[in-house]
């Protein structure tokens, strides 16, 4: 009979890692050696001990930290394209991190933190952008045309219902999305009303003819949804259309978000500076506005 194999040899034996000769001799030995049989048993116990070592679940503060680090990283990332043509969406539609929607995560519950992120993450998300024009209302008939087209195109939203109760709480306002367009218009303060009507008309016609406007973007510019939501909350209006365009205030055209809004008094158009909006003040960010 051979001497006791060392613990490592036994561990290798347990994993079938020994070469055939060694394996035979260890097998023979352990059959008659209680000590080594016990050691083998203890070795398999190690796996169990390791498997059962307790570990805390992902703490919420770590989850939040991850989110804010990612948001920071996004803010530091160089803009990937020129602002005017940047926000083209993929064919499958926009990628949005909807508040509270759990990822398809069978592994563990995902805690919704999107509400917080919307507030804190905004400045970073929007720092990249320059300025965008939100058209706030504008020709109710045309807007209805736009929305009707949207429904036909299969991206139906609860907007039609909500139009009957425009005072709906801000939260419900998030259940639909403003229609994004990129008309390429260079808005000016003087021409705002006419320009906005033109864009609306074009958009409305397009929607009705084709179901989906050719120039319609599938996704709001990055950060715009937050901006829209905030604007809606601050002003009690509904934004129906967002034109990612340019605004010339007299010293050169800059990127702007033109919001078309709608409330009980009718429709209007508001030009926002995305950078100012990003800093959290939608009132400061208003470059121009006009009822339609």
* Rounded least distance, CB 241 to another protein, Å: 17
In the numeric block, the tokens 């008939």 are attached to: 141
Confirm if 271 and 289 have CB atoms less than 8 A apart: yes
* Rounded least distance, CB 182 to another protein, Å: 16
**Greatest pairwise CA separation for the chain in angstroms:** 103
Question: Is 11 one of the binding residues for another protein (CB under 8 A)?
Answer: yes
Query: How many chain residues touch another protein (CB under 8 A)?
Result: 66
Binding another protein by CB under 8 A: which of 27, 28, 42, 194?
42
CA distances from 121 to 81, 214, 263, 283 (A): 21, 31, 28, 19
| Residue 283: Cβ-neighbour burial (10 angstroms; 0-12, 13-18, 19+) | exposed
Question: Is 85 one of the binding residues for another protein (CB under 8 A)?
Answer: no
Contact range with another protein by CB under 8 A, out of 73-81, 179-187, 189-197, 236-244:
73-81
Question: Is 101 one of the binding residues for another protein (CB under 8 A)?
Answer: yes
d(CA 242, CA 177): 10
Q: Residues 134 to 163: which contact another protein by CB under 8 A?
A: 155
Question: Is 169 one of the binding residues for another protein (CB under 8 A)?
Answer: no
| Residue 188: Cβ-neighbour burial (10 angstroms; 0-12, 13-18, 19+) | middle
Confirm if 159 and 241 have CB atoms less than 8 A apart: no
Contact range with another protein by CB under 8 A, out of 105-113, 131-139, 192-200, 278-286:
105-113
Question: Is 202 one of the binding residues for another protein (CB under 8 A)?
Answer: no
Q: Residues 233 to 252: which contact another protein by CB under 8 A?
A: none
DSSP 91-140: TT------TT---S-SSSPPPP-HHHHHHHHHHHHHHT---BEEE----H
Binding another protein by CB under 8 A: which of 27, 73, 194, 234?
73
* Rounded least distance, CB 80 to another protein, Å: 3
d(CA 182, CA 152): 21
Question: Is 34 one of the binding residues for another protein (CB under 8 A)?
Answer: no
Question: Is 107 one of the binding residues for another protein (CB under 8 A)?
Answer: yes
- Which is closer to another protein, CB of 1 or CB of 53? 53
Binding another protein by CB under 8 A: which of 21, 98, 167, 251?
98
List the structure tokens of 41: 């048993």
Which residues are at the interface with another protein (CB under 8 A)? Answer: 6-8, 10-12, 14-15, 17, 39, 42-43, 45-59, 62-63, 65-67, 69-71, 73-74, 77, 79-81, 86, 90, 92-98, 101-105, 107-110, 117, 125, 128, 155, 177, 222-223
């Amino acid at each position: 009979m051979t001497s006791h194999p060392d613990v490592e040899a036994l561990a290798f034996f347990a994993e079938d890692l020994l070469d055939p000769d060694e394996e035979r001799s260890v097998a023979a030995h352990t059959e008659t050696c209680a000590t080594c049989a016990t050691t083998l048993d203890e070795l398999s116990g190690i796996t169990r001990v390791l498997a059962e070592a307790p570990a805390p679940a992902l703490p919420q503060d770590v989850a939040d930290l991850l989110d804010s680090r990612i948001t920071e990283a996004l803010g530091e990332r160089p803009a990937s394209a020129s602002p005017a043509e940047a926000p083209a969406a993929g064919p499958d539609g926009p990628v949005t991190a909807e508040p509270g929607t759990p990822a398809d995560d069978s592994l563990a519950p995902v805690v919704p933190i999107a509400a917080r992120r919307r507030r804190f993450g905004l400045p970073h998300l929007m720092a990249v952008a320059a300025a965008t024009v939100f058209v706030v209302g504008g020709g109710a008939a045309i807007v209805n045309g736009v929305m009707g087209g949207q429904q036909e195109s299969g991206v139906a939203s609860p907007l039609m219902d909500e139009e009957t109760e425009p005072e709906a709480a801000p939260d419900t306002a998030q259940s639909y999305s403003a229609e994004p367009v990129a008309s390429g218009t260079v808005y000016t303060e003087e021409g705002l009303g006419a320009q906005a009507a033109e864009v609306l008309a074009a958009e409305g016609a397009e929607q009705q003819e084709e179901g989906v406007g050719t120039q319609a973007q599938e996704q709001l510019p990055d950060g715009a949804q937050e901006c829209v939501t905030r604007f809606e909350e601050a002003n009690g209006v509904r934004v129906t259309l967002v034109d990612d365009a340019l605004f010339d205030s007299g010293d050169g055209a800059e990127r702007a978000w033109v919001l078309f809004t709608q409330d009980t008094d009718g429709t209007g158009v508001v030009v926002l500076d995305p950078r100012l909006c990003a800093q959290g003040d939608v009132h400061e960010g208003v470059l121009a506005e006009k009822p339609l």
